[in-house]
Amino acid sequence: MWSLENITKSVDSWLNLQFSPTIAFLIEAVIIMVLVIGLFAFLGLVLVYMERKVSSFMQIRLGPNRVGPMGIFQTAADTLKLIVKEGFTPNNVDKFLFNLAPFIVMVVAMVVLAPFAFSKGFQIWDVNVGIFFITAVSSLGVIGILTAGWSSNNKYSLLGAMRSGAQIVSYELSAGLTILVIVMLTGSLRISDIINAQADGWWIFKGHIPAIIAFVIYIIAATAETNRAPFDMAEAESELTAGFHTEYSGMKFALFFLAEYANVFIVCAIGATLFLGGWMPLHFGENNWFNTIMDYIPGIVWFFGKAFFLIFVIMWFRWTFPRLRIDQLLNLEWKYLLPISLFNLLLATVIAITGWHF
């Protein structure tokens, strides 16, 4: 099985030979920071291009096709435009909070990446409560959204932020309960343990009906938590212009825009890790010849392939279902998804205790 563990160990060993442990740790932290920023910049360029191409495919049109081959440099041109565009701050806003809000959203998204295992041995922090850390830190992103809406001194921004807060807090309940289903089946909160438990089959296959129900509910809740259509009530253009970031322009708007796509990747990476094995190749029990063939595909390819598959599904939702009203959106969570999630967690507990899963 391909592994990036040797690379990380070699870099760590070399730095500790050349520098004191403290200096080596600080250099490693800087390297990690640069890699995370680079990953976010890459995701912003790729996912915006992917969004445009998926939407054009759904609508039977071409999409970006002028700037570069097949329009691949269109997102780079848009990024350059946002970088050189003047940042405008309206009068009567709370300038400190107005400027702070985009950074809160981005920093939260970056910190959430810490426990993710991108490949075997390629992980920033394998903390023993990894999945709890992810759910706890990711919930702080709503603070940046509420801060942006309140500090903008704009009724549309405030209304959009309030909608977003109600939506995110509501759907986090169902998302959290679906995550607990996999934690119950695995018996651990550690990301590496959850992935290793799927060495003989992904939970979506061997977790029986509770895992399938949890996966469907998680995808719905993840779509709502990231304010994606058909749950984009916080940014309903026909009602709220642009919602909580109406007053933002230039790089501050770019940070909100980038954070949205970064959060889409994060929720899909969580789904890929919990239900589809993360970096773990597709294995079926003791089928050695098939499992050996799958092991030739690097783990990082499996991880990003699964995450981008779920991203495609979420983008598919946008062009399939009509936008819900805010009351319909909250009714879906509190009257349907939450009771089903609670019952499903009880069912998963029974299966985990009795050992009925594969």
Residue written as token pair 């039977």: 60
Give the containing element (helix H, strand E) for 23.
helix 21-58
Residue 122 φ then ψ, to 5°: -115, 85
Tokens 């565009």 sit at which residue? 85
Q: Is 69 left (phi over 0), alpha (psi -120 to 50) or beta?
A: beta
What string of DSSP letters covers 66-109?
Answer: SSSGGGTTHHHHHHHHHHHSPP---TTS-HHHHHHHHHHHHHHH
Is residue 311 within 8 Å of residue 47, measured between CB atoms?
yes
- Say if residue 102 is preceded by a cis peptide, omega within 30 of 0: no
Residue whose structure tokens are 């995370």: 36
| Gap between the terminal Cα atoms of the chain | 23
Which residues contact residue 61 at a Cβ distance below 8 angstroms, ignoring those fewer than 6 apart? none
Successive 10-residue mean pLDDT values, the chain, 358 residues: 75 87 89 90 91 92 89 89 84 89 91 89 86 90 90 86 86 92 91 89 87 94 88 66 79 88 93 92 77 83 94 91 85 93 92 76
**Which pLDDT score, from 0 to 100, does residue 7 have?**
80
3-state SS class at 143: helix
Cα separation of 121 and 124, whole Å? 9
pTM score, whole prediction: 0.91
Dump the DSSP string for 168-184: HHHHHHHHHHHHHHHHH
- Pull the structure tokens for residue 124: 């920033």
Domain locations along the chain: 86-354
